[in-house]
Structure 1
């Protein structure tokens, strides 16, 4: 019996429902593993079908196609090369499981069903899958591997069962989305599993964007002494060979130099770039269109778009009104120049005049108010959607999480679009990201290496410019205060009284809470966007639109 095992960890970019493309990606990973001398190639959770499949798994034809792909991959392993671990659906009588398959010698040697099904945040696997029993180790070429599927790894029971059943290591295949601060939490969790079991822990993760979630890769190995033996790249596809030696009744991994972990702002920015790039690529849009106002949100959105797709695939439109300042025209033009993108100008004054004329008989005797301001935003939305329809580019909205939290956005106006790259980014983080990007060039970014926006875009007071001398702070608390309150109300679900007790002005907190509640109907109609926090609007946070509770919090 050999005492050495070589495992290639394949963190690959998968595509939900695109089974043939996933099959090809797995085959490429196996070929690379064979070139590196691997005995086994491990792919992420649900690698054959693409994660998250959601209700695709309710379709018998989809499940059958995944099963056929697993059988095809199993047949591939008859060539004497490395074995495979892949993920996909498994029909077991009346039950449907999220499963892992061990493929070797031309056949499926073992199946394991996911035991712990996540049912929180972006996950609702209990709707579509049945939980499997607590698993025992799987045998592979004389080794006993403690195979787990993502959520199984987050709780101690499965790991302890595997250790008690004779596993020589823990091997977890994952579909774990990125969140701000999550890489450190994963390491902390792995340390717990190692301490509890005395076994090395492998975390093999996918990379890439799928709708609103982004998988950051960052696969790693912790040895039984809790040392970090392997750290794979962040936000990049990679196939990495790990070498294992049996020491007594456990396996130990040979350490190798780790990939560098990006800092917080770099991680968030790379998440935005990858999420947007994959959304455009996987949905086969030719490029991106966005409104460029001369403000900070559209400047950052444009920078992310160019870094994701390159300047040739990004088109901007400046749509000045009579309230647009000269500095905004200059700053928008400077942003476009720095990014190397086309920027057209379409004045909206004629559209505003046309709406004024059409509506004058109905509005007679009434003063101008936010109605006319919203007409400006909706005129811009109409122009942008017309250009998107005519040329096929996806319209990118540019609003941030602070605005969407309190409804500081116009339905069918600046909320028009197919995707929102800043949807889960608070305004204070927008400022931080702009400063960071002006000073840094992310790995593999397709945009310029120097600054991407003028300093004035970052330093001037934010304004929607829908009336003379308007600033955001005319309607909202200062963003530093607003974002701190929102973080408590949204991410932490703290009460108004609790926030007031911690030092915030109670009247301001109550005002923000009421704006947050009233804006739910707008958020339900907002486009999808990149998730970076633990409580992104949408599936992470589900509040009723018709909600009388806010009126009780006085």
Structure 2
């Protein structure tokens, strides 16, 4: 449960219709199984104690009495179990019969959540036997104990304040206003659903989208346990379609037509982070719901949840290609608008033969095509200097010509050497002054050419560089519109790859593939034996690690210790713990110290959920202190815990 990870389960037991003793035995067997797997929240289907398909047998006192007795025995079986467990059952109260979910914890029945919406259409006739639940929660006497009874009861974990669970039953989530909406507004982060949803053609896909949608709308985890084999097949078939979703994403899904348990690890702190950032998620001003504490031990959750090591890049090629096309269109549309608004007659792009400038000029070409402008008004400027290699120079020139752009070459070595003399800098001193003077000279050239040609400078820097501050202030840091500003480096590579794969011109395709094979470098230091001497990832760290850190730091507000923990899982076999720690420490330090560069970024289009625009997504003081974050990481590396 450290870092907010909680293992949960949706369980479909084998049952026999109206055989309460057998069903009790099977439920207890799965409780034992889920306990051995470390599940802290376990959900069983609707009316699991009796079977959903009992029909008019629900009017028989003997069945209801057996169910009442059985739930007490199931509760007793949970006494040594460290979990909150929900079991569906029929419950007679004051002469009326209700469809309820019993919440069990440490040998006690904490409450009976009633079903609010009873389906009475198509194959469902629940109003024949059951009554809709009451509008408000009240206490009833059950086996000599006062127990909460009603809708939207909140069950709150004593050791984890943000773990608040509420139940609803089957049709409730299919209704226009599910009870879970109010429960979430009053703090529930986990919604459970005891369900008996039969299988018909196409229903499984709709059911999954419904659960994903509800979890997304509520920014909650949703555990859906469905009835399965064992229910009567007189008219219907139940497939045991269990689903565990979190904020719109399915974490686990059971195989249909096969009873069993599905497990997932939900991240409660991630959900809380989402809610804090989303101002449309309004907490209820008045509290109407009953709240019941339940006991859990604060134990370690051994991570089995998967974390993609490249979170910005979809694994499936089809989805990756679709996303690349969408991003390229967003970038080009943003630039198109800016070109039209400024009545620009040209676009000036500094091209180096590297990934970022390649993507920028490809996007610029798209924008010109959208505007119906001649590509010859794209002015591609190559500016060789001390670190430029033949490989990158030739690729830059050939790419510009193949795109139909106007190629200009401005050799800046003489200007930079003159500047060194002006400021008294030794040309043999290859310090930051040596490097940044070249970057600033290049930016000056681009800006002045844009003035000459009535155009604007298209920025090439990407989001990963901005996060690390790996840009020269008022050098490559500056432009008139930054098309790559919210594209991380790992995604830049795939965008260029997509353009290469779909390119029809053989020579252009070869150039793009060679750009992809070229090491990432600013080429500000002299080459060695004609090869690139300055490799960015040797200096600042692997971008695939930094993009991972950036995604979870910004998207979900994870603390460094949590990022360190999940990075070790995600990059197992690729990077050792020392390497992950080293570059995460670098990321935290640089992210805070380099904010001043992000505070004055040029405009640029947002393409994903993570962005660093100081006008929208990330507003941070430039002099914020990183000590709290660095200490959290250092403690984790020493074996400390952060609950």
Secondary structure of the 2:458 match is: strand
With normalisation by structure 1, the TM-score equals 0.50
Instruction: Please point out which of 345, 353, 357 is paired with 2:409.
Output: 345
2:460 aligns with 398
Q: What is the RMSD of the two structures over their aligned residues, measured on CA atoms?
A: 3.2
Secondary structure of the 2:601 match is: coil
Instruction: Please point out which of 416, 419, 438 is paired with 1:355.
Output: 419
CA distance in 2, matches of 1:491, 1:191: 15
Does the aligned pair in 1 maintain the 2:592–2:625 contact within 8 Å? no
Secondary structure of the 1:553 match is: helix
Does the aligned pair in 2 maintain the 1:407–1:522 contact within 8 Å? yes
2:431 aligns with 369
CA 1:263–1:188: 2 relative to 1, 3 Å:
farther
2:368 aligns with 309
Equivalent runs, 1:98-177 vs 2, <5 Å: none
Instruction: Please point out which of 603, 612, 615 is paired with 1:537.
Output: 612
1:294 aligns with 353
CA distance in 1, matches of 2:629, 2:325: 42
CA distance in 1, matches of 2:394, 2:444: 24
1:427 aligns with 489
Does the aligned pair in 2 maintain the 1:439–1:450 contact within 8 Å? no
CA distance in 1, matches of 2:598, 2:488: 15
1:75 aligns with none
1:283 aligns with 342
Does the aligned pair in 1 maintain the 2:348–2:456 contact within 8 Å? yes
CA 1:391–1:261: 2 relative to 1, 3 Å:
same
Secondary structure of the 1:299 match is: helix
Does the aligned pair in 2 maintain the 1:400–1:423 contact within 8 Å? yes
1:483 aligns with 547
1:522 aligns with 597
CA distance in 2, matches of 1:544, 1:525: 12
Q: Deviations over 1:199-227 (max 9, x none)?
A: xxxxxxxxxxxxxxxxxxxxxxxxxxxxx
1:512 aligns with 587
1:270 aligns with 329
Runs of at least 4 residues off by over 6 Å: 189-193, 447-450
CA distance in 1, matches of 2:565, 2:404: 50
**Are 1:500 and 2:538 counterparts?**
no
Secondary structure of the 1:308 match is: helix
CA distance in 2, matches of 1:302, 1:550: 40
2:625 aligns with 548
CA distance in 2, matches of 1:275, 1:453: 26
Q: Deviations over 1:375-424 (max 9, x none)?
A: 00001111111111222111011011111110110111112211100000
Secondary structure of the 2:612 match is: coil
In structure 1, the gaps of 5 or more residues are 1-154, 158-183, 194-259
CA 1:547–1:453: 2 relative to 1, 3 Å:
same
CA distance in 2, matches of 1:415, 1:388: 17
Instruction: Please point out which of 515, 528, 548 is paired with 1:457.
Output: 515
CA distance in 2, matches of 1:545, 1:191: 33
CA 1:319–1:188: 2 relative to 1, 3 Å:
same
What is the CA-CA distance between 1:440 and the residue it aligns to? 2.7
CA 1:476–1:552: 2 relative to 1, 3 Å:
closer
What is the CA-CA distance between 1:263 and the residue it aligns to? 1.6
Does the aligned pair in 2 maintain the 1:338–1:451 contact within 8 Å? no
Secondary structure of the 2:381 match is: strand
Secondary structure of the 2:324 match is: helix
Secondary structure of the 2:540 match is: coil
Instruction: Please point out which of 416, 420, 445 is paired with 2:478.
Output: 416
In structure 2, the gaps of 5 or more residues are 1-179, 183-208, 219-318, 370-374, 527-532, 569-579, 632-643
What is the CA-CA distance between 1:439 and the residue it aligns to? 2.3
CA 1:461–1:346: 2 relative to 1, 3 Å:
same
CA distance in 2, matches of 1:551, 1:477: 22
Does the aligned pair in 2 maintain the 1:437–1:452 contact within 8 Å? no
Bigger CA radius of gyration: 2
What is the CA-CA distance between 1:328 and the residue it aligns to? 1.4
Q: Deviations over 1:110-162 (max 9, x none)?
A: xxxxxxxxxxxxxxxxxxxxxxxxxxxxxxxxxxxxxxxxxxxxx979xxxxx
Equivalent runs, 1:10-409 vs 2, <5 Å: 188=213, 263-310=322-369, 311-360=375-424, 363=425, 367-409=429-471
What is the CA-CA distance between 1:370 and the residue it aligns to? 0.7
CA distance in 2, matches of 1:381, 1:411: 10
**Are 1:472 and 2:530 counterparts?**
no
What is the CA-CA distance between 1:519 and the residue it aligns to? 1.2
CA distance in 2, matches of 1:528, 1:188: 33
Q: Deviations over 1:432-478 (max 9, x none)?
A: 00111122379xxxx99974943111111111000031111121211
Q: Deviations over 1:58-111 (max 9, x none)?
A: xxxxxxxxxxxxxxxxxxxxxxxxxxxxxxxxxxxxxxxxxxxxxxxxxxxxxx
CA 1:466–1:364: 2 relative to 1, 3 Å:
closer
CA 1:191–1:402: 2 relative to 1, 3 Å:
closer
CA distance in 1, matches of 2:501, 2:338: 26
CA 1:495–1:336: 2 relative to 1, 3 Å:
same
What is the CA-CA distance between 1:294 and the residue it aligns to? 1.1
Secondary structure of the 2:598 match is: helix
